[in-house]
Amino acid sequence: MSESVVDFDVIAKILQKHKNDPSKIIPILQDVQKEFRYLPKDALLYIATTLNIPPSKVYGVATFFSHFTLEPKGKNIIKICDGTACHVKKSGDIIKALKKRFLLKDKKVTSDDGFITVETVSCLGACGLAPVIVLNDEVHGDMTLDKVMKLMDDLEA
Amino acid sequence: MCINREELVKLKQEMDETFSSFKKRVVLCGGTGCMSNGGDKVYDEFLKVLAEEGLDVTVDLKKEDKGKDLSIAKSGCQGFCQMGSLVTVLPDEILYTKVQAADVKEIVKESIKSDGVIDRLLYLDPRSEKKCKGVKEIPFYAKQHRLLLKTCGRIAAESLNEYILNGGYLMAAKAVLEMTDEEICRDITESGIRGRGGGGFSTGLKWDLARKEPRVKKYIICNGDEGDPGAFMDRSVMEGNPHGVLEGMMIAAQAIGADEGCVYVRTEYPLAVERMNKAIVQAEELGVLGNNIFGSGKNFKVWVMEGAGAFVCGEETALMASVEGKRGMPMPKPPFPAEHGLFGSPTVINNVETLATIPVIMAMGSSEYNKIGTKNAAGTKTFAITGHVANTGLIEVPFGTTISEIISDIAGGVIDKDGKINNDAFKAVQIGGPSGGCLTKSEWDLPVDFDSLKSVGAMVGSGGLVVMNDTTCMVSIADFFMKFTQDESCGKCTPCREGTKQMKSMLEDIREGNATPETLETLKDLGKNVQLASLCALGKTAPNPVLSTMKNFKEEYDAHVNLQTCPVGECEDLIEYDILGETCIGCTVCARKCPVDAISGEVKKIHEIDQDKCIKCGVCFDVCKFDAVKRG
């Protein structure tokens, strides 16, 4: 995949907001990811250089936390909660069905055409509505396979 | 700019006067459950209808609002998530359930403009078949003891004035102005409160350790990294009563001599992050946070740190590492954070629920608080109850309440595979998330507290209760938790990194039919070793779900291993779905319902399942009315 052009001015502003403080690396990466929807490699290098810390450290933090992603995400993002409550209400079947539908496997979470990213999250804290999915930031509760597939049909239409 | 106590008391009086001038008050539950059940639309509809009816309404309490007709508030989670969205009308104490936007006109007409009750929107208790008017009559609420959650469900979550109306920040003022650090520690120790985050260490003693450290710079951290799947108590408290959390932090800061605090919230809780941030700004503007608080010459500032999705950061040393901008890996203890914590300074880390309870304890008095609960576990505990129960939601009960009271009386009983209430379908309850264990029918009458749960191999943990009925495969549940802890293992120490991986792969063998009786023995041995040798609580507790299910559901493990079958049909490699040619009438229902189009066949002809496409979800099995789908 070709590296997208990164606007360093944007990152510089984020770094200034956090006073170029290396202990604020997590909030910095969060802000950068909010901006680009993922963490471009060039951005990580730029941050390391500016803060005068080894790139390995920035990379280490970026890869430790599951919230950060080094790959661009799809146009649509669907998060399926697989917390305990959702799990016992069969969220696993929803995950399997979605992966099958969009031809995804194990670590591959974004479809080839960039249409969708299918993520599982450990708990969204909306256990009362289990099983829960979040489609593009909108929470849908009490899901069934039927309802999910209908949502996907609408999304693709 | 700081506010002094007299000004705070005066502000409270003004709010009291304003508030008591309203004829009615409407409280909508603003928790995630209710909001995604149409609650936001209900709120908007209320504003629209009230305006149309010419009623003067206050949405954000301030003293200029005196004499208006009513106030409306969006509160934090009220707990009764199953019945959302919830609308309470005060002072009549009516609770309307499952309210939709279309019902709003009628509510305004009947219950706000006059004093009527709309019968059809009341909760129908399925046991007594009676309509319940308010929380006092609804068994879900009537059997609880809501100390902490009371405020959460009653005040507008984003209104500082409503918090002050309820006596907010007066306890912080008392701690700052009237009490010495030693007195606060003693008071909290005497209340008997133990940390609500899992460990159950005495909060007062923890504070006292940090208090005695002769350092100038100290920190207080509020741990809102509630990562246990199936737990959402802390989220609800931060979303519903953010000022309560801040006030608890202020008191803790006074007790140990800290001037800086950090609220660590997991990133999966955007609303909690937003509300905590907003509350900090409001408290700074009013002058209860900042420099020279209550004119005492002491300073306290708070910032919010958003986590980045690592379960291990709930562990205090890992949490501090991530606040410092490092990979969130735990450190050996000692030194404990109370001596050597954030940036090397003495630090107290308390859970959200613990901190938010502190002002409540001070307001009621520590000896009164100590009378609630059991001898070794004082007070109340919130639990998130989910899974196969009639009423999922957020509850608060005194320690010592039994499992049966929680599941049967409060949560309304177990739901069986047909969706009916049937306690006979109860199989297990997982308590304490991935660190906890499964309790079974034999623990049905066990009183819940720190020690009783420990004695049966479980733990209070943060307080997630997941009830499972007899359609749940316990091997699969153990595998599920193992996958979780294995994913979340930070990789620092070998027993946890490698041990959880091997345990996971043995569980997979069992579920795939590749295990021998020796696998079970090895799994048990390894589990015990991981418990003993891991560095932090994540690893030490990771084997709990496996060991407790192995102990309590031995026959189920044996069936997987010896008979190569999954008794409830969940482990897909041990089952296959087939259509019985002689019974299938070709109604096409299964083919239409199959989410992956694995079933083919023409109308009135025998259907067939393509095993390569089948994901074994069992939908065909469930929808077939002619028992023509065989699972085996």
Per-residue pLDDT, averaged over B44-68, amounts to 93
Show which of residues 459-518 on chain B sit within 8 Å of chain A, judged by CB atoms.
464, 466, 468, 472, 477, 480-481, 484, 487-488, 490
User: What pLDDT does residue B513 have?
Assistant: 93
Number of neighbouring beta carbons within 10 Å of residue B234:
32
- Separation in Å, CA B483 to CA B221, B316, B504, B534: 29, 22, 6, 17
The overall average pLDDT reported for chain B is 93
Domain B475-562 listed as CATH 1.20.1440.230: yes
* Overall fold of domain B576-631: Alpha-Beta Plaits (3.30.70)
A140 neighbourhood in chain B, CB within 8 Å: 36
Which chain B residue has the Cα nearest residue A86? B387
The pLDDT of B441-463, averaged and rounded, is 88
Given an 8 Å threshold on Cβ–Cβ distance, is B32 in contact with A125? yes
Residue of A nearest to B415 (CA): A89
Give dist(CA B428, CA B228) in Å, integer. Answer: 18
Residues forming CATH 1.20.1440.230 domain(s) in chain B: 475-562
Interface membership of A128 toward B (CB under 8 Å): yes
Nearest to B518 by CA among B573, B474, B562: B562
Segment 368-387 of chain B within 8 Å of chain A by CB: 384, 386-387
Per residue in B210-222, pLDDT tens? 999 998 899 999 9
Q: Are B456 and B402 a contacting pair, CB within 8 Å?
A: no
For the record, the structure tokens of A45 come out as: 């290098």
Nearest to A125 among B268, B430, B490 (CB): B268
d(CA B242, CA B352): 10
For residue B87, name the pLDDT band (cuts at 50, 70, 90). Answer: very high
Cβ-Cβ contacts under 8 Å, A27 against chain B:
305-306
B194-225 burial, b if ≥16 CB within 10 A, otherwise e? bbbbbebebbbebbbbbbebeeeebbbbbbbb
CB B351 within 8 A of CB B234: yes
* Average pLDDT value for residue range B602-626: 90
- Contact (Cβ atoms closer than 8 angstroms) between residue B82 and residue B21: no
pLDDT (0 to 100) of residue B1? 66
| Rounded mean pLDDT, B284-298 | 94
CATH of B8-135, picked from 3.40.30.10, 3.90.1150.10, 3.30.1330.10, 3.40.50.10600, is: 3.40.30.10
> In the Cβ-directed half-sphere of B62, how many Cα atoms lie within 13 Å?
4
Do the beta carbons of residue B593 and residue B619 sit within 8 Å? Answer: yes
Placement of tokens 């359609």 in the chain: B471
Identify the pLDDT of residue A1.
Answer: 44
CB A75 within 8 A of CB A34: no
Distances (CA, A) of B288 to B5, B274, B277: 10, 19, 15
- Single-letter code of the amino acid located at A108: K
Please tell me the predicted confidence (pLDDT) of residue A4: 52
Decide if pLDDT at B617 tops 90: no
pLDDT digits (tens, 9 = 90+) for B92-115: 999 999 999 999 999 999 999 999
pLDDT at B333 over 60: yes
Phi-psi region of B365 (alpha: psi -120 to 50; beta: other; left: phi over 0): left
Q: Per residue in B57-86, pLDDT tens? A: 999 999 999 999 999 999 998 988 888 789
* Alpha carbon of residue B475 to chain centroid: 25
Q: What is the pLDDT of residue A2?
A: 47
Retrieve residue B487's tokens: 């994913």
Q: Residue B368 in contact with residue B380, Cβ under 8 Å?
A: no
DSSP run (H or E) holding B383: strand B380-387
SS3 B270: helix
Positions of E strands within B315-412: 347-351, 380-387, 393-398
Categorize the per-residue pLDDT at B440 as very low, low, confident or very high, splitting at 50, 70 and 90: very high
Interface with A, mutate which of B98, B225, B575, B596 (most A CBs under 10 A):
B596
Percentage with pLDDT > 90 across chain B:
80
Cβ of B33 within 8 Å of Cβ of A126? The answer is yes
Q: Do B387 and A139 touch (CB under 8 A)?
A: no
CB atoms A130 and B468 under 8 Å: no
**Residue B456 has which token pair?**
């049966």
pLDDT tens digit at each of 157 positions of chain A = 444 568 899 999 999 999 999 999 999 999 999 999 899 999 999 999 999 999 999 999 999 998 899 988 889 999 999 887 888 888 989 999 999 999 998 788 999 998 999 998 877 767 778 899 999 888 888 899 999 999 999 999 8
Q: CB B145: neighbour CB atoms within 10 A?
A: 17
Which class is B380-472 in CATH?
A: alpha beta
- The whole-angstrom separation of Cα B326 and Cα B332 is 16
Portion 13-32 of A in contact with B at CB < 8 A: 22-27, 29-30
Quote the pLDDT of residue A94: 94
* Interval B490-542: pLDDT, tens: 999 999 999 999 999 999 999 999 999 999 999 999 999 999 999 999 999 99
Contact status of A106 with chain B (Cβ, < 8 Å): no
| CATH assignment, B161-369 | 3.40.50.11540
Please list the residue range(s) of chain B that carry CATH number 3.30.70.20.
576-631
Nearest to A27 among B306, B324, B468 (CB): B306
Range B169-191 average pLDDT: 97
Rg (CA), chain A: 18
- Do B603 and B586 contact (CB within 8 A), yes or no? yes
The label of the residue with tokens 């409270």 reads: B12
Ranges of CATH 3.40.50.11540 domains, chain B: 161-369
* Among B477, B592, B615, B623, the residue to mutate for chain A (most A Cβ within 10 A): B615
Is 70 exceeded by the pLDDT of residue B56? yes
Using a CB–CB cutoff of 8 Å, tell me whether A129 touches chain B.
yes
Average pLDDT over residues B218-233: 90
Rounded Cα distance between B304 and B327, Å, is 18
Q: What whole-number distance in Å separates Cα of residue A149 and Cα of residue B119?
A: 37
Provide the phi-psi class of B616: left if phi over 0, else alpha when psi is between -120 and 50, else beta.
Answer: left
The pLDDT of residue B542 is: 94
Write out chain B residues lying below 8 Å of A121, CB-based: 268
**pTM, rounded to two decimals:** 0.91
Tokens 């502000």 -> residue: B11
Q: Are the beta carbons of B616 and B554 closer than 8 angstroms?
A: no
Mutate to test the interface with B, among A56, A63, A65, A84 (most CBs of B within 10 A): A84
Q: How confident is the model at residue B589 (pLDDT cuts 50, 70, 90)?
A: very high
